[in-house]
Structure 1
Amino acid sequence: MTVTKAAKTVNQAFVLHPGGKFAFEERHKPTLQSDRDVIVRVIATGLCGSDVHYWQHGRIGPYVVEAPITLGHESTGVVVESGSDVQGLAVGDRVALEPGIACNSCNHCRGGRYNLCQTMRFAATPPYDGTLATYYRVPAECCFKLPSHISLRDGTLIEPLSVAVHSCRLAGDMQEKSVVIFGAGPVGLLCCAVARAFGASTVVVVDVVPARLASALKYGATNTYQMSAEGADRNAADLLATASLDSGAHIALDATGAEPCLNCGIAALAKGGTFVQVGLGKPNLSLPVSQICDKELVFKGSFRYGPGDFKLAVGLLDSRRIRLDDLVTHEFPFSQAERAFENVAGRGGIKSVIYGPDVNEEEAKASLV
């Protein structure tokens, strides 16, 4: 990986200020805080809908942009410093970053649900800075070596792939089951790929954009359905007919957060089915509670990822049971980071990636094999 002299000493960051203004700033280069820490030079960062939401709205629920903050949390990079107690990682290793640091001592952490840790320090969630900078510090356990055939660019998708892994694991056994997935954006498409990798026999992907539905067929969808302006019951009946699911679907995952999708998914589920909410929309939605009760459905919320999810995501890629081809559709140098935000806000393509300062883009797009 090519590193300029300036990049070795300067920590350049792309910073969001309250009110929605961006600025490039020089920040202090992070230092090792424990013998288990590593410093990673950030090579590529995928943009998430939450990054754009903080830019456009200044908050997500209780998390408010009250001070300047560096965004970004879907990153890969190269280890440039390592603590004395770090094992299994070496300077020069290519890694994907799990961007949340839990306390490891609370009841949730010790109970195997560290994603619910109340003192979680999650990148780009106020007040904690994210990864759109030259360097980022994490504990070694938050670094996952990239498979040799995965580029640093495509490795940025391991974070949203871990979201998909977590939500599909919450849905339970998928072997020979029918699954309906709402939303053909990055997370929805990755949920589709994971569901097929987990053995689902039928995967119906639902969206309103025909081009995105066409993409879903590349990632394991057996059927697609374009939502209409008709009501939830009509759409549910039509999508079930499309896939010949006369008795309803076993599982539904919603990666949109849109009320019509939730209502359609609940209507499309068979009795005893499972609904997993993956994406976030408006904080308060109207749901058909009577249907949830009449069908005795299981309704679950899904929050980020937990123990084993990143490791399983990397394993699925390493075994080539999941492929990331063509998911990254737009790439931007660090100097054009704001353009990347505008592109995502305008729903351009599927996934946008920002390269770190002074990165050789061709090397970032290359695998080791």
Structure 2
Amino acid sequence: MRLSFLEPLYKQPGPFASVYLDTSRDAAIEDPDAAIQLRWRHLRDALASEGADRDSLTAVAGTVGSDTDVPGTHGQAVFTAHGRLALLDELPAPPARDIAHFGTLPDTMPLIVQRAPGIPYLAVHVHYGGRHSTEATGAVRIEAEAGMWPLTKVVPGHRLDEEIPVTDWMRAAGEVGRELAGHARRIDVEAVVVAGDVWARGILVRRLPAGLRGQVVTVEGAGESQPGRALLERKLDELFRGRMAAHDRALLGAFLAERTRDGASAEGLAAAVSALQRGGVKALFLNDHPESPFRLWTGPEPGQLALTEQELRFYGIRELHEEQADAALVRALVGTKGELVLMSERELRPAEGVGVLLRYADPACRM
């Protein structure tokens, strides 16, 4: 996963207030806004107990629950620094628990986890209920959305909505196919998910460019999509659950190949820290353990991280803080343009849950 979406956050110094909370406005909740504000009051008290200043609390309070236009279950991630909003992101699902943290580094891992696996896709729903003949009356309606799963649940992708007389469908399907191919190329899709009438969608699929046709997955029983949510959301959830993005899987394959030949890879927290200090990490592989006890010492710059306070002081760094290891690792990755791959232990279990694919073989990083 590329972490460029976090770059604006690290362009300013901390301390940061990091808040994650459920901002769903479910019809089953009698007064959802009151429920959101109650959850926020609990988090505000937690931030205050960690030393958050009044301006930071005010900045979060002015943002929490502002996503009134997002339907369905979801959440918000709010980051502030020095009394100003630093980053606001919608969460595709409510957080497992509401979180509040105030510290030198922002707590970004829950946000990253919510964005995974980050699969670029194209969803197409072909609506038609008439006679299977181009001499029939009526129209074929095409709904399509190019998005990134699961973020598209709460941040709409590029949409296409066209209605075409069925008498013109044979010719028009080719034009629609070329338009869809253009959207697919822009985000380098790895799956084209097609639902709807078997006859009408079959004509469209056969007129897609050959390269795109090979990525088509047809699904049945799509149903109607909820306004403001991802097209074919329920089917996409079933299709992509537990799946890694192709880009991340390629990085994992490269890591495993390098590990086999004792090449440009390393495992363990110490090795990862050493590689990040040198800016030598192409990708970091992490088993996400929210309860992880690992801590790291950090300085003001992304590459200033170490296992011990003494190591950083040896290099003349005076402004030091002890932080959660994942917060320090993510900041270093963003600052050095490295990527992060989250995976289950079924995929890979590196030492201490951390592995790195190096930009170049570096014996100093092999622990």
Per the shorter chain, which TM-score range? under 0.3
Q: Rg bigger for which structure?
A: 2
| Structure possessing the higher relative contact order (Cα contacts under 8 Å, 6 or more residues apart) | 1
Task: Give the TM-score taking structure 1 as reference length.
Answer: 0.28
